[in-house]
A and B are shown apart, each in its own frame.
Chain A
Amino acid sequence: EPEVTQTPSHQVTQMGQEVILRCVPISNHLYFYWYRQILGQKVEFLVSFYNNEISEKSEIFDDQFSVERPDGSNFTLKIRSTKLEDSAMYFCASSEPRGNYNEQFFGPGTRLTVL
């Protein structure tokens, strides 16, 4: 069964450093997403991406964040200058919507720890 993959599984970084989180969506999906989950809190939407551009982003997704699809398979999330409060699980998801239904499939996540 096809699945979304993410690397690395765990990233530790110093405050102020740049990090790039990587995702390989399901191959025939055209919509891609990033979500985050701070420990003990709910999953929060960050950004959606379609046709090589951002289709929607949340208030969390400020100028420190960017996304890119550098080739035909990878989808990346970059945080330019990490803050302590960026520590969270970051989940990538992909989907191929059918009408109103958009079943999104999640990768295993990257645990980001900012020290």
Chain B
Amino acid sequence: RKEVEQDPGPFNVPEGATVAFNCTYSNSASQSFFWYRQDCRKEPKLLMSVYSSGNEDGRFTAQLNRASQYISLLIRDSKLSDSATYLCVVTNNDYKLSFGAGTTVTVRA
């Protein structure tokens, strides 16, 4: 079983729509969770950390469900600039990041 699994998409949505997707992780001892975004052939950029109680950053909301071992990301009022690949990232007590393969989101005008 892969350590971090994501629906690859693509999710094609119109501007202004809401899009949401999940990620599952296999290691119940995982400690920290993040969403990164990656544009084509660029570096991963930290979008947000995911806290146990869930957290929001502007139009982005992240949730963590430890019992079911999944993390979600919701994007409200999608903008063209939100088009990217969203990477689910998990760590244990060590500091290495384990990446999912990414979920591709395309926002169309």
Binding site for B on A (CB under 8 A): 31, 33, 35, 41-45, 48, 55-56, 58, 89, 91, 93, 95, 97, 100-109
Contact = CB atoms under 8 A, between A and B. Distances in A.
Given A101-B49, A102-B91, A56 B43 contact: no
Contact of A56 (B32, B46, B96, B100): B96
B19 interface: no
Interface of B: 31-32, 34, 38, 41-46, 49, 87, 91, 94-102
Contacts of A105: 46
A57 B102 CA distance: 23
A45 B96 contact: yes
B95 A100 contact: no
Contact of A45 (B38, B41, B97): B97
Prevailing SS type, chain B contact patch: loop
A107 B97 CA distance: 15
A55 B96 CA distance: 10
A43 B34 contact: no
Contacts of A104: 46, 95, 97
A23 B101 CA distance: 25
A93 B46 CA distance: 11
B43 A48 contact: no
Most A CB within 10 A of own CB, among B38, B43, B91: B43
A93 B94 CA distance: 15
Given A43-B44, A55-B94, A101-B49, 10 more contacts: A44-B99, A45-B96, A48-B94, A55-B95, A91-B43, A91-B44, A100-B31, A104-B97, A106-B43, A107-B43
A44 B41 CA distance: 15
A43 B95 CA distance: 15
A95 B96 CA distance: 11
9 contacts: A41-B101, A42-B101, A43-B99, A55-B94, A89-B41, A101-B32, A106-B45, A108-B42, A109-B43
What are the 8 closest A-B residue pairs judged by CB atoms, nearest first? A106-B43, A43-B99, A45-B96, A42-B101, A100-B31, A102-B95, A42-B99, A100-B32
A43 B87 contact: yes
